[in-house]
Amino acid sequence: MESYRYLQFLYLIIPITVGIEFFLSAQQERKTLHKESAVAVIMDAGGYLFTALIPALFLFTIVGLSQRRLALPEQFLHRIDRYGVLFFFLGSWWQIFLITALRARRAASSGKPIFSCVWCPYLLLGLYVSALILWTAPFGLMWFSLFWFAASFGILTLFDMPAAKVSAIFLVLAGLTFIGENFFFVILDAII
């Protein structure tokens, strides 16, 4: 296995964190309603998707490409691998937005302080993604990413946004970034 693949294992921290946040949000949803709800079931499904399926797909493509023992066409594995890399690079942004939306939702319903529950993890994950994942990215994406996380925190804190609005804003940002990332992938995949 190529040495850069071992570094990619550190990328799994973000999707696994998203999965844990889904599980915690589903648990709080059940505690709040005192019964099972469709929202809690969907959040549990999201938790399993991000903690089990995505890491499994990641490992499957790495092993499939390095061992070359699978019956799948190599071009298919390379396409999945390219999408996986894009998922972990640009996908880190929408996943952090999703983590922030879930944490803000929980903070809004429990009345916890937004700074320690939402903003500290947002800034730490933003620093992690910018430094580790985007270190080698082209076009100065690391500096853009650092600026984005600091500026978005500063603007939303300056306007003293309540946790419920922060949750809605970051949910919309996550959706738009996810759509943009996939559109970008389709264009790149057509060029490469």
**CA dist list (Å): 87 to 11, 12, 25:** 10, 11, 23
> What is the mean pLDDT of the segment spanning 35-58?
91
Picking from 131, 107, 175, 120, the residue whose alpha carbon sits closest to that of residue 153 is 120
For residue 91, give the amino acid letter: G
Using DSSP, state whether 139 is helix, strand or coil: coil
**Which is more confident, 24 or 8?**
24
> What is the mean pLDDT of the segment spanning 6-22?
86
Out of 4-18, 68-82, 145-159, the most confident range is: 145-159
> What is the mean pLDDT of the segment spanning 1-7?
67
Q: Compute the distance between CA of residue 21 and CA of residue 76 in angstroms, rounded to an integer.
A: 31
For residue 164, give the amino acid letter: A
Q: Could you read off the pLDDT of 112-147 as tens digits, one per residue?
A: 899 999 999 999 999 998 887 666 667 777 888 899
CB burial readout 3-31, b (16+ within 10 A) else e: eeeeebeebbebbbbbbebbbebbebbbe
Q: What torsion do the CA atoms of 102, 30, 28, 57 make, to the nearest 10 degrees?
A: -50
Q: Could you read off the pLDDT of 170-180 as tens digits, one per residue?
A: 999 999 988 88
Picking from 166, 167, 153, 174, the residue whose alpha carbon sits closest to that of residue 98 is 174
Q: Compute the distance between CA of residue 104 and CA of residue 114 in angstroms, rounded to an integer.
A: 7
CB 114 within 8 A of CB 134: no
What's the chain's average pLDDT? 85
pTM, 2 dp: 0.87
For the chain, give the percent of residues with pLDDT over 70. Answer: 85
Dig out the tokens for 129 from the structure: 């993604």
Q: Could you read off the pLDDT of 54-97 as tens digits, one per residue?
A: 888 888 777 776 776 666 676 777 777 777 766 666 678 899 99
